[in-house]
Amino acid sequence: MVKIEPFALEIWMDKFEKDCKYNIAETCCASISLDKLQELSEDKTTTILPSSKILNYGAIRGSESLRGNLSRLYSAKTGNPLPAENILITPGAIAANHLFLYSFVGPGDHVICHYPTYQQLYSIPESLGAEVDLWKAKSEKNWIPDIEELKSLIKPNTKLIIINNPNNPTGAVLPKTLLQNLIDVASTRSPPITILSDEVYRPVFHSISPMDAEFPPSILSMGYRNAVSTGSMSKAYSLAGIRTGWIASRNPDIIETCAQARDYTTISVSQLDEQVAAFALSPSTIHALLSRNIQLAKTNLSILAKFVDRHDDICSWVSPKAGTTAFVRFHREGNAIDSAEFCKRLLDKTGVLFAPGKESFGDDFEGYVRIGYVCETEVLKGGLDKTKVWLRKEFDDIPLAA
Amino acid sequence: MDGDVGFNKLYYWLHSADPDTTTVIGGSATPGLSLNELVELSKSPESTQAAFQFNDIKFNLGSAQGNPKLRETIAATYTHELSHLSPAEVIVTNGTTGANHIVHQSFLKPGDHIICQYPIYGPCIEEPEHIGCDISYIHLDPENNWHLDLKQLEALMRPGKTKLIMLNNPVNPTGTHFSTEVQEDLIKLCKKNDVVLHCDEIFHPLFHTSDVPNSFIERHDLDYEKVVVTSSLSKSYGLSGVRIGWIATRSAHLRKAFMSYRVMSCSSVSLIDEAIATEALSPRCRSGILDKHLALARKNISLIQAFVDKHKDSCDWVPPTAGAVGFVRFKDPHTGAAVDDVEFCKQLFESRNVLLAPATLCFEFGELKDAFRGRVRMHFTTTTGNLQKGLQLLDEFLEETEREATNANGHAKL
């Protein structure tokens, strides 16, 4: 049996999210319906889900229109278009990450993974028999990891460096210069090291302008062939339930290897889900959809920021620049509280769900909770109000981290 | 991944030609259905129509094990007086492929001994091979209607070492199935040796004779938990574009391992697809869909049988009893020797644009070379029109080949 570490965050979410009253742990921009999607779109006439569509396998690697739309997005603002053939559709980004890692990583490989991040990104390489080292970001450095530390982790058998940009849980953005430095390090090794960037939170850039000199392009737009980007419709596009994600790379050999392995994991993806995704990413819909979500992120972030400010005696954070997650540390006189106890008691007394930092992201994160703040504004407001009241009454009784 | 593997060969072979100009009769899926067609096949079209209203669903992530209503519906298809399966014993997956992947990846490790039915659908061998398992093969007997010999199977068992037996029933590519008696013996043998019985039942319940056995999971009475079946909507239900499959097992221990792997690799599945699957498998729709496909299969089997009868010197087959495909063997009409099936299929494609799946390329793995010489996989759940066209062209091809052979012989004699 492949030894799989329990996926603590997913286990937590699955256990509690159905019954909680205020889900401020999950990380999608507030989900939408097809009616809402069509409302946002300029295209009012296309039937998003044609009931006459024959539901056979369809185009195995993904529908032409979906891959075409993604190609357009990856090609924007670069001199170098990314062909649709370099994009493979998967059932979600989780499946995209899994498929790439499954087809690429094996025993004897050394993998370096950005941290903290979505546990899958380091647990799967471990379970595939690779040696994994964590490239740790720290709050004192605004959650931007240090390139010199990365260099010190490189070994002769380093095959893959994994980053998550924008980052879950911190909301940090790895800036352009850092990405360039990373590519310089990876490309000058022999053989060159491949970079996987989980870009599932692109393009929820709510607190950094595209005009900013350090605004990060996709890893595929920086002139490095041995780079892979994964993404999905779940976070920026509010369509998690359609389970549509992708792997993209400028290196066709990587795509081909993934495509062959894909015959063993999924073969093809849902025909109707692809219709929805293609529609959402089409020029007539995407701008309004993204605009809705970035505005929602901005509005909600300022509500969350006020909450954090008002409680600055017991919590601290590095304000997120992008994505939908915030990593907030709760403490008593500087000492971290027990994050699992905090979350459990909060849920129990108020129905508000946060994700516990230590359990979900590692032992370094005692005292932290992850807040998914781009839910419906009313849900965030309601949840934070309840939390405020609860904190006044109960915070002092929460045990400190052991 | 090694590109030189059998499944990819089957896949690439079948997709190597332009679908607009090629008559493909080597595949295995029933014709795809649309939502409109599902409504038409339903016993209560209005309810089915209502079930396909997706406009106001919010696209949150679904449930980690699969929508409870869907699991209830799946479990119900395996439940009757003698069998009971609960929704908790079902895990929803991305097709049968996703289901098999989870079972293998979460349960098998390098060096594990498994016993695999042969022939079988390629990935059922290739995935364990890729994992590094030590595979023994239980050969179905081509001279005896592809019968599985329990004594031979028992001889392959390594007590305490064998981890899993891999089966595919109804059998792809032979179109045969295991009788109730063989099923019972298989389960009892696995129980005796504490071995997991994994049966890929993607073609269940397409049974074409009066022998309609239960699914392996329905043999509750044999009191063995470690039976695992995988299946989906792709072959029996005409909904391969609705990526819904499942794993069913009564072993809580195995389910825990499967869920651990699933949560890391796929999370929940499509909400729309779950809704469609729930309706398609419901009492309103299920029998209508199956009846349609069983009638199609019956008609098409008789067409192929007529073809085989007409060309009895050039081909033979074990008439299929189940599933969607049959194994037709082509031979030299004068000598009776099996043809080179790969060459045969290539020439057929080149001269007539008809695609069959040659067994030596698509179903032979490592063990036992030349086991299926002369055999091709022929598809009888394709549309009747498509099959008729294919058989017509095949007919012409055989007559032409025969003429050429006679002429050649004639010339040689001069």
**CA pair distance B67, B69, nearest whole angstrom:** 6
Residue B247 has pLDDT above 50, yes or no: yes
Which of these three, B285, B310, B333, is where a domain ends?
A: B285
B272/A257 touch (CB, cutoff 8 Å), yes or no: no
Predicted pLDDT of residue B410 = 59
Which chain A positions have a beta carbon within 8 Å of B7's beta carbon? Answer: 263-264
Confidence band (pLDDT; 50, 70, 90) for B370?
A: confident
Same domain for B249 and B332: no
pLDDT in tens, A257-314: 999 999 889 888 999 999 999 999 999 999 999 999 999 999 999 999 999 999 999 9
Query: Residue B253 belongs to what domain range?
Result: 60-285
Residue A228 has pLDDT above 50, yes or no: yes
Q: Which residues pair with A245 in a beta bridge?
A: A90, A232
What whole-number percentage of chain B has pLDDT above 70?
96
Predicted pLDDT of residue A3 = 65
The pTM of the full predicted model, rounded to 2 decimals, is: 0.93
Instruction: Tell me the residues of chain B between 120 and 179 that have a Cβ less than 8 Å away from chain A.
Output: 123, 126-127, 130
Could you give the number of structural domains in chain B?
2
Inside any domain, residue B227: yes
pLDDT in tens, B196-236: 999 999 999 999 999 999 999 999 899 999 999 999 999 99
**How many contacts, defined by CB atoms under 8 Å, are there between A and B?**
189
Inside any domain, residue B53: no
Which of these three, B227, B256, B285, is where a domain ends?
A: B285
- Strands annotated E in B250-393: 315-317, 325-330, 354-355, 357-358, 375-379
**CA pair distance B171, B116, nearest whole angstrom:** 12
Interface probe for B, chosen from A123, A264, A266, A269 (most Cβ of B below 10 Å), is A264
A269 contacts chain B (CB < 8 A): yes
Which of these three, B231, B254, B285, is where a domain ends?
A: B285
Which chain A positions have a beta carbon within 8 Å of B267's beta carbon? Answer: 10, 92, 94-95, 243
A4/B59 touch (CB, cutoff 8 Å), yes or no: no
Q: Spelled out in words, what is the top-level CATH class assigned to the domain A49-283?
A: alpha beta
Which chain A positions have a beta carbon within 8 Å of B269's beta carbon? Answer: 91, 243
A272/B276 touch (CB, cutoff 8 Å), yes or no: yes
pLDDT in tens, A162-198: 999 999 999 999 999 999 999 999 999 999 999 999 9
Q: Tell me the residue type at A138.
A: K
Angle between helices B252-265 and A8-16 (to 10 degrees): 110
Which chain A positions have a beta carbon within 8 Å of B61's beta carbon? Answer: 26, 28, 234, 240-241
B274 contacts chain A (CB < 8 A): no
The region of weakest confidence among A234-243, B258-267, B359-368 is B359-368
* Torsion (CA) B210, B211, B217, B221 in degrees, nearest 10: 110
Residue B305 has pLDDT above 80, yes or no: yes
Confidence band (pLDDT; 50, 70, 90) for B18?
A: confident
- Measured from the Cβ of residue A225, the count of other Cβ atoms closer than 10 Å reads 14
Same domain for B204 and B76: yes
B265/A266 touch (CB, cutoff 8 Å), yes or no: no
Same domain for B163 and B270: yes
Same domain for B305 and B317: yes
Residue B399: give its domain's CATH number. Answer: 3.90.1150.10
Ramachandran bin of A18, using left for φ above 0, alpha for ψ from -120 to 50, beta for the remaining angles: alpha
pLDDT in tens, B272-299: 999 999 999 999 999 999 999 999 999 9
**CA pair distance B264, B316, nearest whole angstrom:** 47
pLDDT in tens, A347-360: 999 999 999 999 99
Confidence band (pLDDT; 50, 70, 90) for B367?
A: low
Residue B314 has pLDDT above 50, yes or no: yes
Residue B346 has pLDDT above 70, yes or no: yes
**CA pair distance B157, B196, nearest whole angstrom:** 12
A266/B268 touch (CB, cutoff 8 Å), yes or no: no
SS (H, E, C) chain A: CCCCCCCHHHHHHHHHCCCCCEECCCCCCCCCCHHHHHHHCCCCCCCCCCCCCCCCCCCCCCCHHHHHHHHHHHHCCCCCCCCHHHEEEECCHHHHHHHHHHHHCCCCCEEEEEECCCCHHHHHHHHCCCEEEEEECCHHHCCCCCHHHHHHHCCCCEEEEEEECCCCCCCCCCCHHHHHHHHHHHHCCCCCCEEEEECCCCCCCCCCCCCCCCCCCCHHHCCCCCEEEEEECCCCCCCHHHCCEEEEECCHHHHHHHHHHHHHHCCCCCHHHHHHHHHHCCCCCHHHHHHHHHHHHHHHHHHHHHHHHHCCCCEEECCCCCCCEEEEEEEECCEEECHHHHHHHHHHHHCEECEEHHHHHCHHHCCEEEEECCCCHHHHHHHHHHHHHHHHHHHHHCCECC
Same domain for B323 and B260: no
Predicted pLDDT of residue B7 = 54
pLDDT in tens, A323-341: 999 999 999 999 999 999 9
**CA pair distance A160, A175, nearest whole angstrom:** 20
Tokens of B32: 């795809």
**CA pair distance A339, A344, nearest whole angstrom:** 9
pLDDT in tens, B156-183: 999 999 999 999 999 999 999 999 999 9
Predicted pLDDT of residue B80 = 87
Same domain for B299 and B269: no
Average pLDDT score over chain A: 95
Give me the helices (H) in B108-225, please. Answer: 123-131, 150-156, 180-193
Inside any domain, residue B95: yes
Predicted pLDDT of residue A137 = 98
Predicted pLDDT of residue B412 = 47
Confidence band (pLDDT; 50, 70, 90) for B414?
A: very low
Residue B239 has pLDDT above 90, yes or no: yes
B261/A4 touch (CB, cutoff 8 Å), yes or no: yes
Q: DSSP labels for B25-54?
A: -S--PPPP--HHHHHHHSSSHHHHHHHT--
The answer to whether A30 and A296 have CB atoms below 8 angstroms apart is yes
Inside any domain, residue B194: yes
B113-118 vs B134-139, strand pairing mode: parallel
Q: Return the residue of B nearest to A34 by Cα.
A: B55
In this prediction, residues B188-193 reach a mean pLDDT of 97
Confidence band (pLDDT; 50, 70, 90) for B3?
A: very low
Residue B89: give its domain's CATH number. Answer: 3.40.640.10
Furthest CA-CA distance within chain B: 80
What ipTM was assigned to the predicted interfaces of this complex?
Answer: 0.91
Confidence band (pLDDT; 50, 70, 90) for B1?
A: very low
Same domain for B264 and B335: no
**CA pair distance A345, A357, nearest whole angstrom:** 15
In this prediction, residues B369-384 reach a mean pLDDT of 94
Predicted pLDDT of residue B365 = 84
Whose tokens are 């696209």? That residue is: B59
Same domain for B292 and B281: no
Average pLDDT score over chain B: 93
Residue ranges of the domains in chain A? 8-33+287-394, 49-283
Instruction: Tell me the residues of chain B between 351 and 370 that have a Cβ less than 8 Å away from chain A.
Output: none
pLDDT in tens, A61-75: 999 999 999 999 999
| Domain A8-33+287-394 of CATH type 3.40.50.300 | no
The length of chain A in residues reads 402
| Residue A222 CB burial class (10 angstroms; 0-12, 13-18, ≥19) | middle
Confidence band (pLDDT; 50, 70, 90) for A33?
A: very high
Same domain for B270 and B124: yes
* C-alpha distance from A360 to closest chain B C-alpha (Å): 13
**CA pair distance A265, A247, nearest whole angstrom:** 14
Same domain for B192 and B276: yes
